[in-house]
Structure 1
Amino acid sequence: MQQLGSIVSPSDFAWRDAGKLVVYRSAKVFDAAARKANGGAIWSAAECAEREPAPGAARHLLAGGIHNAGEAVADCHAFCTALAARIGAHPRFRGFIQAEVVNIAATGGRVVGLDTTAGAIGGDAFVLAAGIESRHLAAHLGVKLPLYPLKGYSLTAPIRTTDTAPQISVTDFERKVLYARIGDKLRVAAMVDMVGEDLRLNPKRIGSLTRQVQETMPHAADYSQVSAWAGLRPATPNSAPIIGASPLSNLWLNVGHGPLGFTFAAGSARILTDLMLGKAPPFALDMLALQR
């Protein structure tokens, strides 16, 4: 939070530091999780309903929950927008924001420049951090990135003054559904499809998710105004991101964060910055290297 807050204001990206509550429907699964809580607060079903009323309608279905106070949520798109504005306003900034790279020029094992929809640009060093599109850009340079798109779905609905939206981020463990209040909207994320680079919305998936949400938190938002979205999470075979050098001497990689891109963003950037400056990393990075 201190690193992010020193760059842009938390109010610019709807930062909420209210913790995360993972609720369990199965007593057996809950008991096993409680034994491995690692400092999380163990709440009974009644305590879950009392401290976070939003899923109260499903109280009779819950065995209990584990609350971790150190968790937070925020609007990653708003953060990127605010960060871009801050960078663009810097007197030493030279470059383009929101330009599409159409070609990466390389020679002698080095990247020499980028051709973009806003014009050409050169540089001493380059960072590839383009989500699942990174594998296509890298392939043009003869670099194979072990990334696969995991298609995730989300719903967003406006929160009215009469709604009982969650104050705490809530994860329904067995159903693998996450509920989070982001500004004046409820964001619900769930499901993973392995269907390649297919961004089409599957009506059956959206219908199933909508029904689950309305059953679990019927009064959390205005579901008549819900909007659906699907995105591709760039995952690696072992789920660890790739951070560090590439086969090209001045091309650096920051890819493969799966569903945790925003969670890992600041830490990944700090590690990569140190590597690019020739500083020793805070820990061994063998597990994050391209060749591992």
Structure 2
Amino acid sequence: MKIRLEIGALQALCAIDELGGITRAADRLALSQSAVSHKIKRLEAGLGCELLTRRAGAPLFTAEGERLLRYARRILALHDEAVLSLGQQPLTGRIRLGMTEDTSGGGLSRILGRFTRRHPEVAVQTQVLQSLEIEAQLERGELDIGILQVFIHRVRPSDRVLDTDSLHWVKSPDLSLDLSRPVPFLSFDDDCFYRHWAMEVGQSQPPGLVTVLTCPSGAGIRSALDAGLGICLMGSRQLTPEMDVLSDPFPPPPGIAHIVRVGPQAHSAVVRTLVAEIASELGSRWHTRAA
């Protein structure tokens, strides 16, 4: 018997992943819960494996389900691109994209450049912002797509996780800490969730922190760190052998996730297509680099 992957079943599978369950997926797809369940069960029967765990407290997807999800996103992105390219109505509209400074490099630029060449009637308006501001603008409907960082425990079921990373307290070897007085701290501006966590946790036990520099630029923070002006929080990908990683006196920071998040009302085909391309290519690039 030939196995066929139906587009409707793959759409249901991706909606379950994005929204965290069958009930929400059914609402998104304008189907009954039983209809969505039937699509998944038929897909499982055809493939001969379980895709959903269906056990309380267990991950939503089995290992086979996670593997199929990766294929499904690529298949649906190509499906939407083919329909829009060959159909009578070309892809048109506007996408408002927010991204953090660390994701504004060549990889994303290449994705956006290719996307706009394929879809010349789509205007992509991009802003470089701090993660908290991206979150706020997504909730207010001022952005359609956000590429940002969050603490791992704040990842939503609908987020596309590109990568995860650890966060560390670091300083220059030239900086000698006097733990009898507040430790000098280098931070991004008020829209940085690193700063919020550090001010809450770092001040909760002696010797505490005193902010000596705020700067919206990662390059500015790095320059001040190298000069020995203070300590800061930094992801493991930004660490160099010249930095000292601190284990005391502050508690270990939580892990962070780099994610793609879509606004509550931004679920058009053009948004889905761009999100799938970003998640597929940036996720692969970051995981390869971290390996």
* TM-score, normalisation: structure 1: 0.24
Structure ranking higher in helix proportion: 2
Which fold has the larger relative contact order, with Cα–Cα distance below 8 Å and residues 6 or more apart in sequence? 2
TM-score normalised according to structure 2 size? 0.24
More strand by share: 1
